[in-house]
Amino acid sequence: MGEKITEKTFEEALARLEFIIGELEKGELNLDESLKLFEEGIGLARHCNAKLDEAQGRVELLLGTEDGVAKTTPFQPEEE
Amino acid sequence: MSLGILYVNLGLLGKRKKERIFPPKLELVKIGKGVGALPEILSVSQVTLQIKRLLENEQALQQVWVSGEISNFTLHSSGHMYFTLKDEASRLRAVMFRRENQWLKFRPYDGLEVVVCGRIGVYPKNGEYQLYVDLMEAAGMGSLYLAFEQLKERLAQEGLFAPERKKPLPRLPRKIGVITSPTGAAVRDIIKILRRRHARVDILVIPAQVQGDTAPASLVAALQAAGSLRDLDLVIIGRGGGSAEELWAFNDEGVARAIAACPHPVISAVGHETDFTIADLVADLRAPTPSGAAELSVPEINELRNQIKLYADNLHALFSRVCAQKRAQSDRLSFHPALQHPDRLILTRRQQVDEGKEELVRQMKVALQERRKDLQQKMEQLDMLSPLAVLNRGYSICFRDTDGKLVREAAEVDHGDVLRITFRRGQLRTKVEEVKKDVTTWAKK
CATH number at residue A3: 1.10.287
For chain A, which ranges sit under pLDDT 50?
Answer: 1
Query: pLDDT higher for B187 or B379?
Result: B187
Residues A55, B191: C-beta atoms closer than 8 Å = no
Q: What's the pLDDT band for B332 if we cut at 50, 70, 90?
A: confident
B349: part of which helix (H) or strand (E)?
helix B342-385
Residue B181 has pLDDT above 60, yes or no: yes
In this structure, whether the domain defined by B164-299 belongs to CATH 3.40.50.261 is answered with yes
Share of chain B above pLDDT 70, in %: 90
CATH numeric code, B61-140: 2.40.50.140
* Contact pairs from chain A to chain B, CB under 8 Å: 119
**Which residue in B has a C-alpha nearest to residue A14's C-alpha?**
B308
Best residue in B167, B169, B171, B172 for a mutation probing chain A (most A CBs within 10 Å): B172
Best residue in B308, B321, B323 for a mutation probing chain A (most A CBs within 10 Å): B308
**Which residue in A has a C-alpha nearest to residue B221's C-alpha?**
A64
Residue B282 has pLDDT above 90, yes or no: yes
Q: Which residues of B246-258 are buried (b: 16+ CB within 10 A; e: fewer)?
A: bbbbbbbeebbbb
Residues A27, B322: C-beta atoms closer than 8 Å = yes
- The partner residue sitting opposite B225, judged by closest CB among A41, A62, A80, is A62
DSSP class of residue B406 equals B
Residues A52, B304: C-beta atoms closer than 8 Å = yes
pLDDT at B19: 46
| Range(s) of the domain holding residue A66 | 1-80
Measured between CB atoms, does B221 come within 8 Å of chain A?
Answer: no
The pLDDT tens digits for B135-172 are 998 887 677 788 888 899 999 999 999 999 999 998 88
Query: pLDDT higher for B336 or B367?
Result: B367
Look at chain A and report how many structural domains it folds into. Answer: 1
Residues A57, B200: C-beta atoms closer than 8 Å = yes
pLDDT at B86: 92
pLDDT at A2: 54
* Domain B164-299 in the same topology as domain B61-140: no
Query: pLDDT higher for B421 or B28?
Result: B421
Contacts of B374 (CB under 8 A, 6+ apart): none
Determine the distance in angstroms separating the CA of A6 from the nearest CA of chain B, rounded to an integer: 16
Q: What is the DSSP string of B97-148?
A: -HHHHTT-SS---TT-EEEEEEEEEEETTTTEEEEEEEEEEESSS-HHHHHH
DSSP class of residue A42 equals H
What are the CA-CA distances from residue B352 to residues B235, B345, B356, B357, B365 (Å)?
81, 11, 6, 9, 20
The pLDDT tens digits for B61-117 are 999 999 999 999 999 999 999 999 998 899 999 999 999 999 888 889 998 889 999
Q: What average pLDDT score do residues B190-204 get? A: 90
Decide if B414 contacts B435 (C-beta within 8 A). Answer: yes
- The partner residue sitting opposite A49, judged by closest CB among B171, B203, B308, is B308
Q: Are strands B91-96 and B128-138 parallel, antiparallel or unpaired?
A: parallel
* Distance, CA of B371 to CA of B361 (rounded, Å): 15
> What value, to the nearest 5°, has the Cα angle with vertex B173 and ends B168 and B175?
125
CB atoms within 10 A of CB B77: 6
pLDDT at B8: 39
**What residues of chain A have any CB closer than 8 angstroms to a CB in chain B?**
9-11, 14, 17-18, 20-21, 24-25, 27, 29, 31, 34-35, 38, 41-42, 45, 48-49, 51-62, 64-65, 68, 70, 72, 75, 77-80
- Contact list, A72 vs chain B (CB under 8 Å): 204
Best residue in A40, A44, A59, A60 for a mutation probing chain B (most B CBs within 10 Å): A59
* Distance, CA of B9 to CA of B58 (rounded, Å): 14
Q: B215, B222, B247, B217: which is closest to B236 by C-alpha?
A: B222
Residue B284 has pLDDT above 90, yes or no: yes
pLDDT at B188: 93
Residue B243 has pLDDT above 50, yes or no: yes
* Residue B21 phi, psi dihedral angles, 5° rounding: -95, -35
Q: B252, B260, B269: which is closest to B181 by C-alpha?
A: B269
Beta strands in B313-433 (DSSP E): 397-400, 418-422, 427-431
DSSP class of residue B160 equals T
**Domains in chain B: boundaries:** 2-41, 61-140, 164-299, 392-431
